[in-house]
Structure 1
Amino acid sequence: MFIMLIWGLVVAVWAGRSLAVGCPQPPAPLSFPLADTQVNPRVPGSLMRGIPVRIGTPPQNLVMLPWPDLNNTYIYDDQTACNTKLIDNDEICRVRRGGYYYETESTSFTKTTDVIDAGGAPVEIDTLGSESGIPKLVSSSLAGTDRFAAGDKEPVTIPVGIPRLQWDGGFTISHALGLGPNSTYLNALVAARQIPSRVWSIFWGRMWMGSADMDGAIVLGGYDKEKVIGENFTAQLDYSENMGCWTGMRVIIVDVIANFPHGADVSIMSGNLPVRSCIVPQRQLLWEVPVDIATELRKKAGLVSSSPSMSITAFHALATMLNTTASDSVFDGDLTFVLSSGLRIRVPNNQFIVPRIGYAEDGSRVVDQSQKDLLVYSVTNQQPSTLGRYFLTAAYLMINHEAGTFTMWQGNPSRKSTLVPVSQTSEQCSPESSGDGLGTTDNHTTDDGESGGSSGNNGGQNEPESDPTTETSVSIGTIVGAAVGGAAGLACIVALVMFCLWKRRRQRGPETGGFLPDDGPVAYIDNTGPKEIGSLPPMATELVAEDLRPELNGDFRGYELHGSGPYGGVLNRGGY
């Protein structure tokens, strides 16, 4: 019996080690800043907001924006000019792009026949409202592969498309980091075990506040729980035509409340139907909304448009230019967006009434504090409503491509960071597998945004500061803990049996063929590994936003400018 127990102990220890080798701990999430970054080394003021990245060998520094509706990554070189109706000269174009990529100067760039041949996604999202040039990007772009990295992490080789046409609306013209449902960048990071899953989160930060400005952040493989407050809601990603939202993230706004500083809260949507808005993080404004609601907002807030009322060449193209001399003061209250899920997002005044931002001829940024812009643009009822980047100065957004969902919280502008990994739920770990992405890792908290992974409980509506994923899986730590814990338990049993046998022999005296007593205790193995096996977190209850799907008519792709001169009279969705 004793030999069998010892043999069982050996097998248990071997199994525990095998599981530990076959199922390593998943990687922690990665966090990259969304920050103002100098583009031209010779011009200190040549700033562009985005994710600083490195591409090629030797590395070339660029600034990119995340695109949730693109699967591939598209990077501009100097051969695709900006729209001259919107951008005044080549230097401004270079800065607004986030720098140029010179593929001929990269020894690691490998040219291919097209994006698909480079290993890229064969299809881009092309539903109502998406940019008009997207269907041609895969086939028309110069394509290849190159080494690509953000932050201080090791580069991964990804396919890149280098556009040869003016494909977007012209207002969001930075390099596009594709983070869609078949993102080649996220796929590459998961394959390289740099992130635990195809999940990403975004907080835009705060701008135009001087020394109080705060960088935003993109988290890949999880989210930052320091940046969220209270309840959240989770809804399905839906890219279908009848949803009318090309990013898959549509919310229903049932009210918008003007929060006056003296305490009065005034609805600007009383008598209006709910507005279905598409969340588009790369868009340059707070809200694109039907004309009647935009008019009501200006009326209730006492805002008067200037003449002309809109600039298309400024940094915030399409923003409403305000007449700051028409009244004694400009509205200095906040706006609270009330969603059909019950979530309320309060956007501070200084993130939607901002100074006029432009660019000098050398590409340096010009901030005109004497002029103010309202980051709200009027669209017709046939055009889609969008919530852009400035909505994400107050809301925190997570996209989970593993579960096909998105989750939103009220954002918390904290400079601290605690990353929570969100793991894959579609794969099982075994001694023969590499255990890609299962489980969570320990909390890592910093004050500067450089964080490791952290663990979190599952949660949904009414579960504050929680991990919003609604599926749980046994973590690698649990599997290994179970094996080691089992081995420890077996060791204790062996020790107890040995002690009992020794005790009995001591009482009986020596016997032929038995254990001989000695003057000291019988030694036994003391396994100091994990003694307890943690329980799985409770299954979360997911609240899916109300599913109201309007029938849409017309094709709302891109923007098309009608009219001449620096300001267009009518701006409709279309192409260049």
Structure 2
Amino acid sequence: MSLQKIVAGAIASFCLLRVDAAECSPKAISLPIKRNVLSNRAEIRGIPLAVGTPARNLAVTINASSNDTYLWGPESSCPVTKDFTIETCVSTYGGIYDPKASNTSVSTSSDSIRHFPDGILASWAQETVTLDNATELSSFEIGSTSSFNEWVPQSKIGVGRSSTMLQALNKENKLTSKSYGYFQGTDFGNETREGSFILGGYDANLLDPVNNITLPTALEFQNPAVPCKEGMVLNVTGLDLTWPDGNVDKLMQDSETLTVCVVPDWPSIISFPEKYWNRTLDKTGYKPRSDGTAFSGGLYFHTQLIEKDSPGNFTGTFTITLENKLSVTFSNDQFVMVEPKIRDDGILVPAPEFANVLVENLHDRGDEDAKLGALFFAAAYLMVDHDKGEFTIAKANTEADSQKIMGIDTPNNCVAELQEGSLTSSPPKSSTTNTNKSNPTDEDQSTSLTRGAIAGIALGGVVFVSLIAGAVFFFWRRKRSAAGYEVPRTDSPPPEKVTYGYAEGRPSEMQDNDRPSEMPLHEWDHVVELPGVASTSERRTHELP
């Protein structure tokens, strides 16, 4: 293509960009995935959600196959025994919701029923739900249920194709798309960092602009060999163990391919057939537990247990390659960990007698149950756009220490950066004021306008030239880039170190407001670090019932 054609195309693109800039007005909501203080004073990792009046604070997860929002409860549903207390139950399920204890709960079903197509038995009520300190949904229908499975016990927000949460937020003009971005983050080892859940867009600072793949979502019946209600199916084409000296052991032969379903709430990095676990044991020297306990019964349910001294045999990294294009690498701390346990008072403590390899051995369950789970997104980023019917998986930029939220505006078919903490893409207002004149004269106003016009013209010229140069670079680079969400790069210096996703001084938990809450003001501002050794008091630890 000649330079003349490139410039002509760039000018045409500039005209289109001007239209988009004038009409593009996306809205998005950013929520942290972090430790939340519950009613039992335990800190449990999840998305902060306040439900009812007085507000009950929960730590929830997402569920990509469900459309409704399901909360564990009421308290009477807890399977309490001498080894599984109410406090343990609260921590296990990320909090308990009781509709009878809420002044704003309005029952919509006299009996427990199942909503199609989710099929989860629940009692239904319209309730007040707060996603963050500025986003409240009143009369939002939720299901109160005690029928969760032991793999994923936490309450969950359904983000499936017909998500009632996404629909309600769009209807109330709080979002402009049925999309979301998800990064699980890490809550263990030496690399602890918050995760991110963005409704209506994604975080461009986390999503690698080059190392990503975009694929169409598929209905379950379109691929009956892989029963994936989440609709996100792709192929694993490589599983590698890399030793500190650079040597690589391959767990998959070159001719092998494993089709997996993306299940972002599943408690593992990957669920794979037994042959790959056997090869992992052979290459690493890991030793299965001598007492015959093959897998965890705790927070990372069904991940593989090994002898506590065994992890020292392999100190390298674990890499998963997708579609022969995208490689995601996990540090040793992300691959092997000491799993925390829940005491009878609900507090999480380390259980140093256990060591977990964060993969799931499917045993005889077959290849069709293979998954990429929540812990995969400690090193990868997921973006789902239901309006376009596609999903993107990217290598996560885990060095990012601030957010760059890109909101998706489906009606105007555009994407734009949002200001931090804002639901709109409008720029922040200047804090500069005229302190010399309280009542400017007509002459002052005229002079000010003329200068503003001159500045606008000058700025417009600079922007025009910049956009022309950018468009030329875009057309050149697009020929070299793979398909996917291209996130703009920047050569500006890195921002100051802040708590991820939030400016200094802004708590990442939900702010206190005028609604009564079960916790006193700023209860959540303190941080309770997990003790390095077990408590001196007599406490028991528990596995899930």
TM-score by length of 2: 0.70
Equivalent of residue 286 in structure 1, options 262, 269, 293: 269
Post-superposition offset of 1:99? 1.1
| Paired letter, 2:51 | I
CA positional deviation for 1:74: 0.9
The answer for the alignment partner of 1:180 in structure 2 is: 160
Q: Could you tell me which residue of structure 1 aligns to residue 16 of structure 2?
A: none
Deviation string, structure 1 residues 223-256 (Cα, Å, up to 9, x no partner): 1111122321110111323242121111200111
SS in 2 for 1:61: strand
2:408–2:416: 8 Å Cα contact kept in structure 1? Answer: no
Matched, 1:202 2:186: no
Judge conservation of contact 2:74–2:96 (CA < 8 Å) in 1.
Answer: yes
**Counterpart residue identity of residue 416, structure 1:** S
Match of 1:66 in 2: 62
Asked if 1:123 corresponds to 2:103, the answer is no
* Structure 1 residue 91 corresponds to structure 2 residue 87: yes
Cα distance between partner residues in 1 of 2:418 and 2:143 = 39
Question: Structure 1 residues 267 and 442, CA, compared in 2 at 3 Å: closer, same or farther?
Answer: closer
Amino acid at match of 2:202: Y
Alpha-carbon distance change, 83 to 343 in structure 1, aligned in 2, over 3 angstroms: farther
Per the alignment, residue 146 of structure 1 pairs with 127
* Alignment RMSD (CA, Å): 3.6
Taking the aligned partners of 1:567 and 1:151, their CA distance within structure 2 comes to 31
Q: CA deviation at 1:90?
A: 2.9
1:510-525 alignment runs, 5 A limit? none
**Aligned pairs for 1:366-515 within 5 A:** 366-379=349-362, 380=364, 381=366, 383-413=368-398, 414-424=400-410, 427=411, 439-442=414-417, 444=419, 450=421
Percent sequence identity is: 19
**Structure 2 match to 1:555:** none
| Distance (Å, rounded) in 1 between the aligned partners of 2:108 and 2:166 | 21
Query: Against the structure 1 CA distance between its residues 158 and 404, is the aligned structure 2 distance closer, same or farther, given a 3 Å change threshold?
Result: farther
Distance in 2 between residues matched to 1:406 and 1:258, nearest whole Å: 27
CA–CA separation in structure 2 for the residues paired with 1:401 and 1:256: 29
Alignment of 1:191-270 (within 5 A): 191-209=171-189, 212-229=191-208, 230-241=210-221, 242=224, 243-270=226-253
Q: By how many angstroms is 1:221 displaced?
A: 1.1
Tell me what 2:345 maps to. 362
CA deviation map 1:429-480 (0-9, x unaligned): xxxxxxxxx64444546xxxx57777xxxxxxxxxxxxxxxxxxxxx99xxx
Asked if the contact 1:308/1:567 (under 8 Å) is kept, the reply is no
Q: Is the 8 A contact 1:205 1:215 kept in 2?
A: yes
SS in structure 2 at match of 1:205? coil
* Post-superposition offset of 1:374: 0.8
Which letter does structure 2 place at the counterpart of 1:365? L
What is the one-letter code of the residue matched to 1:98?
A: G
Range that drifts further, 270-279 or 142-151? 270-279
Shift of 1:54: 1.1
Q: Pick the aligned partner of 1:48 from 35, 44, 53.
A: 44
Name the larger-Rg structure: 1
**SS class of match (1:308):** coil
**TM-score normalised to the size of structure 1?**
0.66
| Correspondence for 2:108 | 112
- The equivalent position to 1:160 in structure 2, one of 141, 146, 151, is 141
**Alpha-carbon displacement from aligned partner over 1:68-109 (angstroms, at most 9, x marks no partner):** 111111112225635679x83332111111111122232222
Residues 525, 345 of structure 1: alpha-carbon distance in 2 compared, 3 angstrom cutoff? closer
4+ residue stretches of structure 1 with deviation over 6 A?
114-117, 451-454, 523-530, 532-542
Q: Which residue identity is paired with 2:402?
A: K
Distance 1:38 1:391 in 2: 25
Tell me, which stretches of 5 or more residues in structure 2 are unaligned? 1-18, 428-448, 485-541
Deviations 1:477-531 (A, max 9, x none): 9xxxxxxxxxxxxxxxxxxxxxxxxxxxxxxxxxxxxxxxxxxxxx999967785
Give 1:370 shift. 4.9
Q: 1:271: how far off? A: 6.1
Residue 146 of structure 1 aligns to a residue whose secondary structure is strand
In 2, Cα distance between the equivalents of 1:82 and 1:163?
Answer: 13
Kept after mapping to 2: 8 A contact 1:112/1:144? yes
Q: Structure 1 residues 312, 344: closer, same or farther in 2, change over 3 A?
A: closer
- Residue deviations 1:266-292, cap 9 Å, x none? 111126621111111111111111001
State how far apart, in whole Å, the 2-side matches of 1:116 and 1:184 are.
19
Whichever residue aligns with residue 317 of structure 1, its letter is F
